[in-house]
Amino acid sequence: MNNINCMLNETAKKLVDEITKNLAASKESISSSFGELLSLLIDKLQLSQDKKFVFVLLGKTGVGKSSTVNSLLNQEIAPVGKYDATTMEVQEYEHEINGVKCSIIDTPGLCDDIPEKGNNQKYIELIQNQVKQIDLLWFVTRLDDARVGEDEKKGIQIISEAFTPQVWEHSVIIFTRANKADDYLEELRERTKRIRDEIAKHTGHEVANRIPAVAVDNKSQTTPDGKRWLEELYTQVFITMSQKGAIPFLMATAPRINKTNRDPNWNFYNQSEFKNQDKEDENSEFNANNFIFDSIQKELIKKKIIEVIPALAAAGVTIGAVVGGPIGAAIGGAVGAAVGSIFYFLN
- Residue 172: its H or E element: strand 171-176
The β-bridge relationship of strands 91-97 and 100-106 is antiparallel
Q: How far is the CB of 253 from ligand GTP (least distance, A)?
A: 20
Give the whole-angstrom CA distance, residue 267 versus residue 191: 30
Q: How far is the CB of 53 from ligand GTP (least distance, A)?
A: 19
Binding to Mg ion (CB under 5 A): which residues in 65-124?
Answer: 65-66
Residue 213 backbone dihedrals phi, psi, to 5 degrees: -120, 130
- Residue 97: its H or E element: strand 91-97
Give the whole-angstrom CA distance, residue 49 versus residue 45: 6
**Cβ(324)–Cβ(339) under 8 Å?**
yes
When CB distances to ligand GTP are compared, the closest residue is 64
Burial 19-43 (b: 16+ CB within 10 A, else e): bbeebeeeeeebbeebbebbeebbe
Binding to Mg ion (CB under 5 A): which residues in 12-71?
Answer: 65-66
Q: How far is the CB of 57 from ligand GTP (least distance, A)?
A: 7
Q: How far is the CB of 258 from ligand GTP (least distance, A)?
A: 23
- Closest listed residue to residue 279, CA positions, set 288, 270, 267: 288
When CB distances to Mg ion are compared, the closest residue is 66
> Cβ closer to ligand GTP: 158 or 312?
158
Summarize as ranges the residues that interact with ligand GTP (CB under 6 A): 59, 61-67, 80-83, 85, 108, 176-177, 216-219
The binder of 63, among ligand GTP, Mg ion, none, by C-beta within 5 to 8 A per type, is ligand GTP
Judged by CB under 5 A, the number of residues near Mg ion is: 2
> Cβ closer to Mg ion: 65 or 196?
65
Check residue 141 for interaction with Mg ion (CB under 5 A).
no
> Cβ closer to ligand GTP: 66 or 192?
66
The binder of 191, among Mg ion, ligand GTP, none, by C-beta within 5 to 8 A per type, is none
> Cβ closer to ligand GTP: 149 or 332?
149
Q: How far is the CB of 239 from ligand GTP (least distance, A)?
A: 22
Residue type, 158: I
Task: Based on DSSP, count helices (H) and strands (E) in the chain, helices before strands.
Answer: 15, 6
Task: Report the SS3 class of residue 74.
Answer: coil
The binder of 74, among ligand GTP, Mg ion, none, by C-beta within 5 to 8 A per type, is none
> Cβ closer to ligand GTP: 71 or 290?
71
**Cβ(23)–Cβ(320) under 8 Å?**
no
Q: How far is the CB of 173 from ligand GTP (least distance, A)?
A: 14
What is the maximum span of the chain, computed from C-alpha positions, in angstroms? 72
